[in-house]
Amino acid sequence: MRVVILGCGRVGSTLAAILTREGHQVCVIDRDQSAFDKAAQRLGPSFTQDTVRGVGIDEDVLRQAGIEEADAFISVTSGDNTNLVAAQIAQQRFQVPKVLARVYDPIRAEAYREAGVETICTTTISTGLFHDLVLNRPIRSTQEYIDTTVTQPESSES
Amino acid sequence: MYVIVVGGGKVGYFLTRTLIAEGHEVTLIEQDQDRVARLTAEFGEAVVVGDGCEVRVMEDAGMGRADCVVAVTGHDEDNLIVCQMAKRHFGVPRQIARVNNPENEENFHTLGVSETVASTRIIYKLIDQEVETGESLLLTALKRGNIEIVTVDLTPNSPATGKAVKDIHLPGECVLAAIIRDERILLPSGTTELLPGDTVIAVTKPDSQHILKDALVGESSSAVRREG
Of A21-25, A146-150, B220-224, the poorest mean pLDDT is in B220-224
Residues A76 and A36 occupy one common structural domain: yes
Interface probe for B, chosen from A80, A85, A103 (most Cβ of B below 10 Å), is A85
* pLDDT value, residue A153: 53
* pTM check: above 0.80: no
- Report the residue from B81, B84, B103 with minimal CB separation from A58: B103
- Residues of chain A positioned with their CB less than 8 A from the CB of B80: 81, 85
Q: Please check whether residue A44 lies inside any domain of the structure.
A: yes
Q: pLDDT tens digit string along B104-119?
A: 999 999 999 989 998 7
A139 lies in which domain range?
122-152
8 Å CB contact between B204 and B147: yes
Name the residue of chain A whose CA is nearest to B105's CA.
Answer: A58
Q: What is the per-residue DSSP string for B113-154?
A: --EEE-HHHHHHHHHHHHHTTTTEEEEEEEGGGTEEEEEEE-
Q: Please check whether residue A158 lies inside any domain of the structure.
A: no
Separation between Cα atoms, residue B20 and residue B113, nearest integer Å: 25
Q: Please check whether residue A84 lies inside any domain of the structure.
A: yes
Q: pLDDT tens digit string along B68-96?
A: 999 999 999 999 999 999 999 999 999 99
- Residues of chain B positioned with their CB less than 8 A from the CB of A115: 84, 88
- Report the residue from A58, A60, A111 with minimal CB separation from B89: A111
Name the residue of chain A whose CA is nearest to B78's CA.
Answer: A81
The CATH number of the domain holding residue A17 is 3.40.50.720
The structural domains of chain B, ordered by start, are: 2-120 (3.40.50.720), 129-227 (3.30.70.1450)
- Report the residue from B55, B77, B111 with minimal CB separation from A107: B55
Residues A126 and A105 occupy one common structural domain: no
* pLDDT value, residue B124: 75
Task: Count interface pairs A-B at CB distance under 8 A.
Answer: 52
CA distance B224 to chain A (A): 22
Is the Cβ of A150 closer than 8 Å to some Cβ of chain B? no
Residues A9 and A60 occupy one common structural domain: yes
Residues A71 and A144 occupy one common structural domain: no
Q: Please check whether residue A64 lies inside any domain of the structure.
A: yes
Q: pLDDT tens digit string along B149-164?
A: 888 888 888 888 888 8
A101-116: b (≥16 Cβ within 10 Å) or e: bbbebbbbbbbbbeee
CA distance B73 to chain A (A): 13
* pLDDT value, residue B228: 31
Q: Do A84 and B56 touch (CB under 8 A)?
A: no
Q: Please check whether residue A157 lies inside any domain of the structure.
A: no
Of A109-118, A144-153, B158-167, the poorest mean pLDDT is in A144-153
Res. B15: pLDDT tops 60:
yes
CA distance A102 to chain B (A): 15
- State the total domains in chain A: 2
Residues A147 and A113 occupy one common structural domain: no
Q: What is the mean pLDDT of residues A61-84?
A: 97
* pLDDT value, residue B185: 87
Res. B144: pLDDT tops 70:
no
Residues A109 and A127 occupy one common structural domain: no
Residues A55 and A130 occupy one common structural domain: no
Residues A129 and A93 occupy one common structural domain: no
Q: pLDDT tens digit string along B176-223?
A: 888 989 888 888 888 889 998 888 888 888 788 778 888 888 764 433
CA distance A149 to chain B (A): 15
Q: Please check whether residue A22 lies inside any domain of the structure.
A: yes
Res. B126: pLDDT tops 90:
no
Is the Cβ of A116 closer than 8 Å to some Cβ of chain B? no
Residues A7 and A76 occupy one common structural domain: yes
Backbone region of residue A52 per phi and psi (left: phi > 0; alpha: psi in -120 to 50; beta: other values): beta
* pLDDT value, residue B186: 86
Residues A53 and A81 occupy one common structural domain: yes
**What burial class does residue B93 get, using C-beta atoms within 10 Å of its C-beta: 0-12 exposed, 13-18 middle, 19+ buried?**
exposed
Among the listed residues B79, B70, B73, B77, the one whose alpha carbon sits nearest the alpha carbon of residue B31: B73
Residues A94 and A26 occupy one common structural domain: yes
Name the residue of chain B whose CA is nearest to A56's CA.
Answer: B77
Asked casually if ipTM beats, i.e. exceeds, 0.90, the reply is no
Residues A23 and A46 occupy one common structural domain: yes
CB atoms within 10 A of CB B78: 23
Q: What is the mean pLDDT of residues B42-54?
A: 95
Q: What is the mean pLDDT of residues A97-118?
A: 95
